[in-house]
Amino acid sequence: MRSTLVEKYGDERLPRYTSYPTSPCFSTNVDDSTYENWLTTISREKAASLYVHIPFCPSICWYCGCHTTNARNGSIADYLRMLREEVRLVSARTAAPMRIAHLHFGGGTPTTIGPTIMFEFIELLRKHFEFTGLTEIALEIDPRTLDQEMATVLGEAGVHRASVGVQTFDPAVQRAINRIQSEEQTMEAVFQLRRARIASINFDLMYGLPNQTVQSCIETTKAAIAMAPDRFAVFGYAHVPSFKTHQRLIDEAALASARSRISQAKAISEYLVAAGYRRIGIDHFARPHDSLATAQTNGQLHRNFQGYTTDACETLIALGSSAIGRMPGGYVQNEVLPNRYAKRIASGRLATTKGWRLSAEDRLRASIIERLMCDFQVDIAALAVTYGFEPHALLKGNPRLSMLESDGVIENAGGIIRLREEGRFLIRAVAAAFDAYVRESPRCYSKTA
């Protein structure tokens, strides 16, 4: 890795490209009436996915970039009442019950709602949407709050996959981010989930946190590997205190440089690969038998708001405050603030307040960016023909692409763009070469490295 590449590109603020266009581009030109029209035209022939946002946590971790708030019993009960109503409002606007391929609970800490309510809510979804024996149910877990009753209920409700938040086991880093979590707590949570027959367990790790070092990353990774999860997601901390005000509680002087962040990420990656995990895209790792690894091998890997996925559904129904969904016509996002979300639902309206209507060019650029993020290469000419465009419109007069080629980050062989191995950590910089809107909201994005 050349130091000049880190210096030139590492501090750029760019999207993580879990969608294209990215959410800072969304506008009020797409609203609840747009969403309602889109819902009425969904084809029954194709399966859809569901995302449910539970925006509550027992306490707020200072590194968090999610839309979440402190849990209070009254607030949770009020929110869930509106969430159930949103399920009814959305399902009533489709011609027939949608067949669901994937259901994901995120947040926040979804299990904050308690085991009985969690089971009842999944049953409510089964009533209003069509679940099959192949429907995959996943949710995010804070191991500090999981008990055996909740784990058992998750198993009985048909949950297949649990993503366990680990981040770091270093006590000094944990104190700096307001998240104290022992290895023993995590091991107990894993034991409970496996006893409940949850088929797959994922771990989330982070680098670039305050006071974090290469050695502490290695020690956390070794301890995590010993618990034998099926997948890892390894994210770089995104410090955006102007956007997430609780991040102002983090000491910026304790944050790593771009070079140190890359060294931390590299160390984690090397230990995971040495332990038998396959690297998936830029930040996921999976055992060779895992469906994510199979999808990568077959060129069927996708990327959505949860990161890398096998989910190929064109429609994603999103429920809850701030939740972002995708329809064949474009993106929709619900009101971000839970109280405003509740008022819209209580009035009988869908909660959508903004979104994006996809143009033909947007679809082409989205496909190019997804293949780059998943495969580290893309055939621009072939995709351009598929979408009815001339490839030179994307390749000629593209100064960022030319700069990346001259810097040795990519190779361009007749319109087939490939990242060189040493430049893969700059994949977001390459994807940005095909982003027509990236310069409009740079303050919302994290640094490239």
Residue 336 in any domain: the answer is no
Residue 218 in any domain: the answer is yes
Q: How many CB atoms lie within 10 A of CB 69?
A: 17
- Report how far apart, in Å, the C-alpha atoms of 115 and of each of 6, 60, 107, 151 are: 47, 21, 16, 8
9 and 45 assigned to the same domain: no
Token representation of residue 238: 């995104």
313 three-state secondary structure = coil
Q: Which residue, 265, 290, 319, sits at the end of a domain? A: 319
Check residue 342 and report its DSSP letter.
H
Picking from 323, 324, 329, 297, the residue whose alpha carbon sits closest to that of residue 310 is: 297
CA distance 199 to 404: 42
* pLDDT computed for residue 440 by the predictor: 61
Q: Is 201 in contact with 249 (CB distance < 8 Å)?
A: no
* pLDDT computed for residue 245 by the predictor: 92
Residue 40 in any domain: the answer is yes
H helix intervals, 250-379:
258-274, 291-297, 338-346, 360-375
pLDDT tens digits in sequence order for the chain, 449 residues long: 466 888 888 778 899 999 999 999 999 999 999 999 999 999 888 999 999 999 999 889 999 988 888 877 668 999 999 999 999 999 999 988 899 999 999 998 999 999 999 999 999 999 999 999 999 999 999 999 999 999 999 999 999 999 999 999 999 999 999 999 999 999 999 999 999 999 999 999 999 999 999 999 999 999 999 999 999 999 999 898 888 899 999 999 999 998 899 999 999 999 999 999 999 999 999 999 999 999 999 999 999 998 899 999 999 999 999 999 999 999 999 999 999 999 999 999 999 999 999 999 999 999 999 999 999 999 999 999 999 999 988 998 899 999 999 999 999 998 999 999 888 889 999 999 999 998 765 556 666 66
392 and 314 assigned to the same domain: no
Residue 146 in any domain: the answer is yes
CA distance 402 to 280: 27
Token representation of residue 424: 């893969």
What's 167's domain CATH number?
3.20.20.70
pTM of this prediction? 0.94
CA distance 142 to 111: 8
- Report how far apart, in Å, the C-alpha atoms of 415 and of each of 17, 264, 269, 293, 438 are: 21, 33, 30, 27, 22
**How many domains would you assign to the chain?**
2
Query: What one-letter code names the amino acid at 353?
Result: T
H helix intervals, 136-228:
148-156, 171-177, 183-195, 214-226
Residue 62 in any domain: the answer is yes
112 and 261 assigned to the same domain: yes
Token representation of residue 316: 């994603």
188 and 170 assigned to the same domain: yes
Domain that holds residue 17: 1-23+359-449
What's 16's domain CATH number?
1.10.10.920
Picking from 18, 135, 31, the residue whose alpha carbon sits closest to that of residue 351 is: 31
17 and 29 assigned to the same domain: no
> Is the bond leading into 236 cis (omega within 30 degrees of zero)?
no
Residue 445 in any domain: the answer is yes
CA 417 to chain CA centroid, Å, is 25
H helix intervals, 71-147:
73-92, 115-128
Residue 340 in any domain: the answer is no
Q: Is 320 in contact with 333 (CB distance < 8 Å)?
A: no
Check residue 277 and report its DSSP letter.
P
364 and 216 assigned to the same domain: no
61 and 115 assigned to the same domain: yes
379 and 270 assigned to the same domain: no
Token representation of residue 47: 């399966």
Say what angle helices 380-387 and 360-375 make with each other, to 10 degrees. 150
315 three-state secondary structure = coil
Say what angle helices 258-274 and 214-226 make with each other, to 10 degrees. 30
Longest CA–CA span in the chain (Å) reads 60
* pLDDT computed for residue 1 by the predictor: 47
54 and 183 assigned to the same domain: yes
- Report how far apart, in Å, the C-alpha atoms of 323 and of each of 82, 86, 292, 417 are: 14, 12, 24, 33
397 and 258 assigned to the same domain: no
CA 242 to chain CA centroid, Å, is 21
259 and 407 assigned to the same domain: no
For 312, counting Cβ atoms within 10 Å of its Cβ (0-12 exposed, 13-18 middle, 19+ buried), the class is middle
Check residue 240 and report its DSSP letter.
-
130 and 92 assigned to the same domain: yes
Residue 383 in any domain: the answer is yes
